Amino acid sequence: MPKANETILEIDFKALKHNLEYIQSKLQKKTKTLAVVKAFAYGSDATEIALYLQNLSVDYFAVAYINEGIALRQAGVTKPILVLHPQAINFKELIGNCLEPSLYNAKIFNEFIEASSKENQTNYPVHIKFNTGLNRLGFSENDIDFLMSKLNKTTSIKVASIFSHLAASEDLNETKFTQNQIKSFNIISENFISKLDYKPMLHLCNTSGILNYPEAHFDMVRTGIGLYGFGNSEKENKHFKPIGTLKTVISQIHTINKGESVGYNRAYKSSDITKTATLPIGHADGIGRQYGNGKGFVIIHGQKAPIIGNVCMDMIMVNVTTIACKEGDEVIVFDPKSTAEHLAEQANTISYELITGISQRVKRVYLK
C-alpha cells in the first residue's frame, strides 16, 4: 500500500469479501443475506460497497432512510433495498425508486397504503416490523388483527417479510433474554402467517445473532458490522478483517518547553521538554473531542502516540517525544491491527460510533 500524504480512509474490498464469506459460512444454503449499508456503509462508502456486494452472493440491501436508498439506485444498485426507518413525506420518491419500506406502527402503515394507492400500485412489497424487546420501533402481537383488517381491504401492498431486531445478541450474559425474543418472534410470525394465504420471509438476526443463534436464521439474516470487520467479541473478531484504515500525516513538529501549553484552553501543559506532532485530522473528520487529553492515540512507526490537549476541528496534536519521526511521515489512526474498536475503547465508546463518524470530507481510497 502506498504511504499516505494526506488524510485518507483506505477501504479494502478483499477484506469485505472475506467477511461476507465468513458470515455466509454460518448459514444454510437456502438462507438469504441482507447487507446493511446505512450510514454510508458504516462510514465507508455505501455506493461503492453496494455495487461490489451486489456482484457477490448478497440478496438484499438495507438502509436507514429513503435518501440513502435513492443514492444507491442512482449509482446503479438493482437488488432489493429495504428502508428501515422511512418517513412518510418521501413515500412518493420511495415508490419511484422501487425501495421497500419497513412499516412499524399504525400511522406509517396507513400512510403507506394511502401513498401506494395514489401511485396505483398493486402488491407493492412492504416489510412488517414487530417489537420483541428492543422497544425502539415495531408493532406488537396485539396489532396483528389490525394489520390483517387493513391488508384484507387493499391490493396496493403485499407483505414481503416479517421481521424484528435483537437487542443484546452479542452479550452472552443476556442469552435468556435473546432466547425469549426468538420465542416471541416465532409466536408472532406463526400467528400472522396463519392469517395470510402466502408466506412472507422471516428475518431476525443481526451479525451477532448470526454468530450466536443459528436456530434464528430463518429465511434471511441481516449483517452490518460484520461486513465491515467486527464480530463484537474477542473470539469472533479473530475471524473478521476490518475493511477500513484511516491514515494521516505529520504536518508539523514542535518542541514544547516545560510549562508551555498545547492547543485550545491550554488543556495540555508540559511537565518537561516535550516533542509534539500536529496532524491534519480533527472532530470535523470524525475524531471527537472525547479522544483528547490522553484518551486516544495514533500509531507512528509502530509506536503509540497519545493525543494531547483538546481535539481541534481540523487538527490533533500528539506526543512524539519518544518516537523518531519527521514532518510528512505517515500516521495510522486505525487499521486492521490497531483497530477502530481498540481506539473507541479508550473513549468508552464502540467501533460503530467511531467508524460511522468519519467525515465525508476524508478522501476515500479503494483497494480492489
Catalytic center residues: 38, 264
Q: Which amino acid, one-letter code, is at 269?
A: K
